[in-house]
Chain A
Amino acid sequence: MVTINFRAADGTLRTVEAEPGSTVMEAAIQSKVPGITAECGGACACATCHVYVDADWFERLPKAEPMEEDMLDFASDLRKTSRLSCQIKVAPELDGLTVETPARQG
């Protein structure tokens, strides 16, 4: 299992175990992490699983596909480290990944 940390906008930290091959969004939903809505269920069609990836981790993630970039246009409060968590695949090398959930989704 891979450990993923979710930091809420108010600083509260939640650590969850995620299965390699699943997505960061799925890990959040399974553990009922607040701040991730995932309206479309992972189809990269709604931008309500938006997260800010901690800067040192952001560089280590595979780049967003054009489809994800397009959908990010619909997200609120974008930053340079914005990603859609449904498009981040959990892998052993992501153990300890920390993302921040935005104050609001959609």
Chain B
Amino acid sequence: MTDIIQTDVVIVGAGPVGLFAVFELGLLDVKAHVIDILPRAGGQCSELYPEKPIYDIPGFPVISGQGLVDNLMKQIEPFKPGFHFGEMTTGLEVLGDAVHPRFRVTTDCDKAFECKAVLVAAGGGSFQPKKPPIPGIDAYEGKSVHYSVRRMEDFRGADVMIVGGGDSALDWTLNLQPLARRLTLVHRRDEFRAAPHSVNAMRALVAAGAMDLVIGQVTAVAGADGAMTSATVKKADGALVDVACTRMMPFFGLTMKLGPIADWGLALAENLVPVDTEKFETATPGVFAVGDINHYPGKLKLILSGFHEAALAAQRVHRYVYPDKKLTFQYTTSSTSLQRKLGVA
């Protein structure tokens, strides 16, 4: 475990609402660190619909998912939040008394934070790799089945099978092909949505006999004690072929799973975190929830509602973090003090 990071607030989730919370907290001089399992900011906006237009952000007749995220990142720049991408927030521990606790937040990358309040802006939960529908695949996960590459050397000399037809599948095909004893790419159709140059490079390797491409779906795997030996692929014509495979990497995109939040004692109801509509505080004092993850009577899962929730929650977070400081309500249009914080005065 590295040094513990001390901060006012840890924000769980770097989607649009988590990002805007940085802004609202920043205006009130509350410092924040933001943790997200994805390798970049934006949450669903960046991951699910970066190029799709959004029509109901106030003041923007139309803006793309990525456009909104880019704007938010620019807007919160003056507050220099700490970003921790590619990490899943795993633990939330209450420190001190139950009435006004502090918190220790930990991630799956062995990072630890000590903070005065926690703002959960986790949307639909964490994005995790989708598992392929192969019976018994769980038994091989971690040993023979990998959803990401931690050490490329682990693939040296292995019979590698990559399943999928997107950029991740093609990139890893090209990266691991030189290391593998034999590499087989399996995809359900002979069309790929990956970058054309990667597809061309893959086809050249196939033509040169340096790797195999099988069009079909993996239906079964064989092996023992987590060590895979082969996989059965059902080809488009129904024929079954067995392919030697000691390391398999399926790339079926990401799916949202609630994840560790379920264990944080937040009195979840139908996988959502109940909050009040004044403070957006959860069942645990000092833990707040905003955006798609929370629930209250009349809740609408809209980005604009999340922004409103972040503004109100920030007021209460400030009072929780700095109980002795007086808070004066100010407008960014007229307050020199706010404008100084934004670096425009």
**Contact residues of A with B, CB < 8 Å?**
39-40, 43, 45-48, 69-70, 72-74, 76-78, 104, 106
Task: Give the residue of B44, B52, B188 whose beta carbon is less than 8 angstroms from that of A73.
Answer: B188
Q: How far is the CB of A47 from chain B (nearest CB, A)?
A: 7
**Contact A76–B52 (Cβ < 8 Å):** no
Chain B 249-283: CB-based contact to A (< 8 A → 1; otherwise 0): 00011011000000000000000000000000000
Q: How far is the CB of B341 from chain A (nearest CB, A)?
A: 35
Confirm or deny: B124 has a beta carbon within 8 angstroms of a beta carbon on chain A.
yes
A48-B133 Cα distance, complex, nearest whole Å:
13
**Contact B165–A45 (Cβ < 8 Å):** no
24 of the cross-chain contacts (CB-CB < 8 Å) are: A39-B48, A40-B44, A40-B48, A43-B48, A43-B52, A45-B49, A45-B52, A46-B48, A46-B255, A70-B193, A72-B188, A73-B164, A73-B165, A73-B187, A73-B189, A74-B130, A74-B166, A76-B132, A76-B133, A76-B252, A77-B133, A78-B188, A104-B133, A106-B255
Chain B 125-167: CB-based contact to A (< 8 A → 1; otherwise 0): 0000010110000000000000000000000000000001110
Chain B 195-238: CB-based contact to A (< 8 A → 1; otherwise 0): 00000000000000000000001000000000000000000000
Confirm or deny: B3 has a beta carbon within 8 angstroms of a beta carbon on chain A.
no
**Contact B217–A78 (Cβ < 8 Å):** yes
Q: How far is the CB of A63 from chain B (nearest CB, A)?
A: 14
**Contact residues of B with A, CB < 8 Å?**
44, 48-49, 52, 124, 130, 132-133, 164-166, 187-189, 191, 193, 217, 252-253, 255-256
**Contact A69–B124 (Cβ < 8 Å):** no
| A74 CB contacts on chain B under 8 angstroms | 130, 166, 252-253
A72-B191 Cα distance, complex, nearest whole Å:
12
Closest A-chain residue to B301, C-beta based? A41
Q: How far is the CB of B188 from chain A (nearest CB, A)?
A: 6
A48-B52 Cα distance, complex, nearest whole Å:
18
**Contact A39–B255 (Cβ < 8 Å):** yes
The interface residues of chain B, by DSSP majority, are classed as loop
A74-B187 Cα distance, complex, nearest whole Å:
11
The interface residues of chain A, by DSSP majority, are classed as loop
Q: How far is the CB of A68 from chain B (nearest CB, A)?
A: 11
A48-B252 Cα distance, complex, nearest whole Å:
12
A sample of 15 more A-B contacts (CB under 8 A), given A39-B255, A69-B189, A73-B189, is: A39-B124, A40-B44, A43-B52, A45-B49, A46-B48, A69-B191, A72-B188, A73-B166, A73-B193, A76-B130, A76-B132, A78-B188, A78-B217, A104-B133, A106-B130
A40-B292 Cα distance, complex, nearest whole Å:
12
A104-B52 Cα distance, complex, nearest whole Å:
26
| A45 CB contacts on chain B under 8 angstroms | 48-49, 52
User: Contacts A70-B193, A73-B188, A106-B130: A40 and B49 contacting too (C-beta < 8 A)?
Assistant: yes
Q: How far is the CB of A84 from chain B (nearest CB, A)?
A: 13
| B132 CB contacts on chain A under 8 angstroms | 76
| B252 CB contacts on chain A under 8 angstroms | 73-74, 76
Closest B-chain residue to A39, C-beta based? B256
| B187 CB contacts on chain A under 8 angstroms | 73
A46-B52 Cα distance, complex, nearest whole Å:
13
A77-B255 Cα distance, complex, nearest whole Å:
16
| B164 CB contacts on chain A under 8 angstroms | 73
| B124 CB contacts on chain A under 8 angstroms | 39
| A73 CB contacts on chain B under 8 angstroms | 164-166, 187-189, 193, 252
